[in-house]
């Protein structure tokens, strides 16, 4: 889909006009308007570099503010103030106290324009200090991410950097296009520790992602402890793709992950994939198999060979325990019930099963999300379908959307972070095609599926399946720079969508990732600044 002919966003145009006027008058152009491509890694960041692109960013010509060594943070939401101060302390070496008296950086739950809604913010940088205003805590947190992005890249470092810590003057008014902006991590094919998941949470939070979908079970592993069913983790969690040791989260581990995510305004969506992708559970308990025989554990990468026993009451006794406990542990409203690639379940059984599991999920107070295959069942009005195919039309999903089903967009050939960038990418798969940055970015979630109205789309999600992904460095290599591309599709107004502008903004992220120690893929589609 080509967007090159769309008008440049107003704010970029304004910045260009400001720069032109100043240059004509012989003045120095403000830092906020300098080109990102040619900047050295230590340069002052500007409003033009923000990813995801904001709704509006208007630089104040000639105005800037440098954090003094006495910089302080005051915040109407203690957690958000503490989060910001902790990041600033590490890289600036300043004490950055969180104060009750107005700080040099003020985070206020007052005075934001109504337009910013629950997740948006207004950020002002004047010669006297920095103010973020929002109507709710999530908006303050989003504003803090933008504040960090207009500080020099060294702010991302975990060790003290030289500074100066200069912010460009001006105003950003910003709010998201979609309420659901997700990232998925498959912890079943390879297990990732709590610390590894938290590291990824910190990284995705920087791009205003607000949902983390955890794929907690699959053929190769069951990763969440369920009271009364100890073999699920003792046996079903004991391996992974390739035969490694696997692992699992205790319920306390899972609670720690959801709490860590909550502190970053990210809601965890736990997934139990079913009725297929269930070998690990069926290997753990013979009674989950129609023939009463537990299959061996599986460490390969095939799909479509397992199915829960749809006709057996035991299946639903089990699932009531699993879903009930997971629902009780999960602060967010959603529970993902999987439903993809159930090739070993008959069509009639599949519909019966999805209908029952939707009811169990609702009985435990949660809204179900399923991979779009669930549109072949009779969906509850609240059930959300997650589109993952490589096509641009889907009959069952279109019919469901006409009846009111909402959709999360994850087309595998654009949004799957496990697809290889090029044929020589050492990690990942290519069944949905090769996905370099432009392909990850250049599509419109609201107009992608023919016959599905834009109003049916509630957001986007970037899934990272981990058949070939083993370490945090692997995660980062596949997620960066594509995760920020998806994050921008989820947050930024469609009117800002221009590949040429995006690739310039993205280039400016390179030095930031380098400072943060993120092992990103240096796509040749992006003119990364020298040294990053």
- The residues of the shown chain that bind ligand TNX, judged by CB under 6 A, are 303, 340-341, 371, 388, 412, 416, 418, 429, 465, 467
Alpha-carbon distance of 327 to 330, in angstroms, equals 5
Whose Cβ is closer to ligand TNX: residue 69's or residue 471's? 471
Give min distance, CB of 276 to ligand TNX, in A.
9
* Three-class SS state of 529: coil
Catalytic residue among 198, 240, 341, 494: 341
Does 341 qualify as catalytic in the annotation? yes
Give min distance, CB of 290 to ligand TNX, in A.
22
**Omega within 30 of 0 (cis) for the link into 481:** yes
Give min distance, CB of 456 to ligand TNX, in A.
19
User: SS3 letters for 232-283?
Assistant: HHHCCCCCCHHHCCCCCECHHHHHHHHHHHHCCCCEEEEEEEECCCCHHHHH
Give min distance, CB of 266 to ligand TNX, in A.
21
Whose Cβ is closer to ligand TNX: residue 429's or residue 495's? 429
Question: H or E element: which one contains 486?
Answer: helix 482-491
* Three-class SS state of 427: coil
Give min distance, CB of 423 to ligand TNX, in A.
16
Q: State the residue for tokens 């998941």.
A: 197
Whose Cβ is closer to ligand TNX: residue 388's or residue 477's? 388
Rg (CA), the chain: 24
Backbone angles phi, psi at 193, to 5 degrees: -70, 170
Give min distance, CB of 363 to ligand TNX, in A.
25
Residues 256, 194 contacting (CB under 8 angstroms): yes
Alpha-carbon distance of 401 to 409, in angstroms, equals 13
Q: What angle do CA 205, 511, 427 make, to 5 degrees?
A: 70
Question: From edge to edge, which strands make up the β-sheet containing 121-126?
Answer: 56-66, 166-174, 121-126, 129-133, 105-108, 73-75
Whose Cβ is closer to ligand TNX: residue 121's or residue 371's? 371
What tokens does 298 get? 């599986």
Whose Cβ is closer to ligand TNX: residue 170's or residue 463's? 463
What tokens does 497 get? 């969508």
Cβ-based neighbour number of residue 206 at 10 Å: 23
Backbone angles phi, psi at 429, to 5 degrees: -120, 175
Whose Cβ is closer to ligand TNX: residue 358's or residue 468's? 468
Whose Cβ is closer to ligand TNX: residue 318's or residue 416's? 416
Alpha-carbon distance of 333 to 296, in angstroms, equals 35
Give min distance, CB of 467 to ligand TNX, in A.
6
Question: Are β-strands 129-133 and 105-108 bridged in parallel, bridged antiparallel, or unpaired?
Answer: parallel
Residues 327, 335 contacting (CB under 8 angstroms): yes
Whose Cβ is closer to ligand TNX: residue 174's or residue 219's? 219
Q: State the residue for tokens 């092992």.
A: 519
Give min distance, CB of 389 to ligand TNX, in A.
8
Catalytic positions, written as ranges: 341
């Amino acid at each position: 889909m080509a967007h090159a002919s769309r008008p440049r966003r107003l704010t970029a145009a304004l910045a260009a006009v400001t720069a032109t006027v100043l240059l004509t008058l012989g003045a120095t152009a403000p830092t906020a308007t300098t080109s990102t491509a040619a900047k050295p890694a230590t340069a002052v960041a500007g409003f033009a570099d923000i990813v995801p692109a904001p709704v509006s960013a208007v630089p104040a010509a000639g105005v800037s503010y440098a954090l003094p060594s006495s910089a302080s943070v005051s915040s109407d939401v203690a957690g958000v103030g503490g989060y910001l101060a902790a990041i600033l302390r590490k890289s600036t070496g300043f004490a950055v106290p969180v104060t009750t008296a107005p700080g040099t950086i003020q985070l206020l739950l007052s005075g934001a324009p109504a337009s910013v809604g629950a997740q948006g913010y207004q950020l002002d940088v004047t010669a006297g200090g920095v103010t973020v205003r929002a109507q709710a805590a999530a908006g303050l947190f989003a504003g803090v991410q933008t504040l960090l992005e207009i500080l020099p890249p060294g702010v991302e470092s975990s060790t003290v950097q030289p500074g100066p810590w200069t912010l460009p003057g001006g105003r950003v008014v910003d709010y998201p296009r979609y309420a659901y902006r997700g990232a998925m991590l498959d912890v079943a094919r390879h297990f990732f520790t709590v610390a590894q998941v938290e590291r990824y949470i910190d990284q995705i939070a920087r791009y205003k992602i607000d949902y983390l979908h955890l794929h907690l079970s699959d053929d190769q592993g069951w990763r969440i402890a369920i009271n009364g069913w100890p073999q699920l983790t003792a046996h079903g969690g004991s391996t992974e793709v390739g035969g490694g040791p696997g692992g699992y989260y205790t319920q306390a581990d899972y609670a720690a992950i959801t709490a860590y995510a909550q502190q970053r305004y990210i809601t965890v969506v736990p997934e139990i994939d079913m009725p297929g992708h269930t070998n690990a559970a069926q290997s753990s308990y013979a009674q989950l198999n129609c023939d009463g025989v537990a299959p061996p554990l599986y460490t390969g990468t095939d799909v479509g060979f397992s199915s829960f026993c749809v006709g057996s009451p035991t299946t639903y006794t089990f699932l009531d325990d699993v879903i009930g406990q997971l629902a009780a542990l999960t602060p967010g409203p959603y529970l993902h019930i999987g439903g993809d690639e159930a090739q070993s379940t008959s069509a009639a059984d599949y519909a019966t099963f999805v209908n029952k599991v939707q009811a169990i999920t609702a009985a435990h107070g949660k809204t179900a999300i399923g991979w779009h295959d669930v549109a072949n069942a009779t969906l509850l009005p609240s059930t959300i379908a997650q589109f993952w195919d490589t096509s641009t039309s889907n009959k069952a999903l279109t019919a469901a959307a006409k009846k009111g089903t909402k959709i999360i967009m994850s087309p595998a050939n654009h949004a799957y972070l496990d697809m290889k960038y090029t044929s020589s990418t050492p990690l990942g798969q290519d069944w949905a095609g090769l996905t370099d940055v432009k392909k990850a970015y250049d599509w419109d979630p609201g107009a992608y599926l023919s016959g599905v109205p834009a109003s049916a789309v509630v957001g986007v999600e970037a899934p990272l399946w981990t058949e070939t992904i083993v370490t945090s460095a692997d995660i980062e290599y596949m997620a960066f720079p594509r995760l920020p591309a998806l994050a921008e599709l989820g947050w930024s107004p469609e009117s800002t969508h221009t590949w040429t502008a995006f690739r310039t903004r993205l280039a400016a992220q390179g030095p930031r990732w380098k400072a943060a120690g993120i092992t990103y893929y240096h796509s040749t589609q992006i003119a990364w600044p020298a040294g990053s």
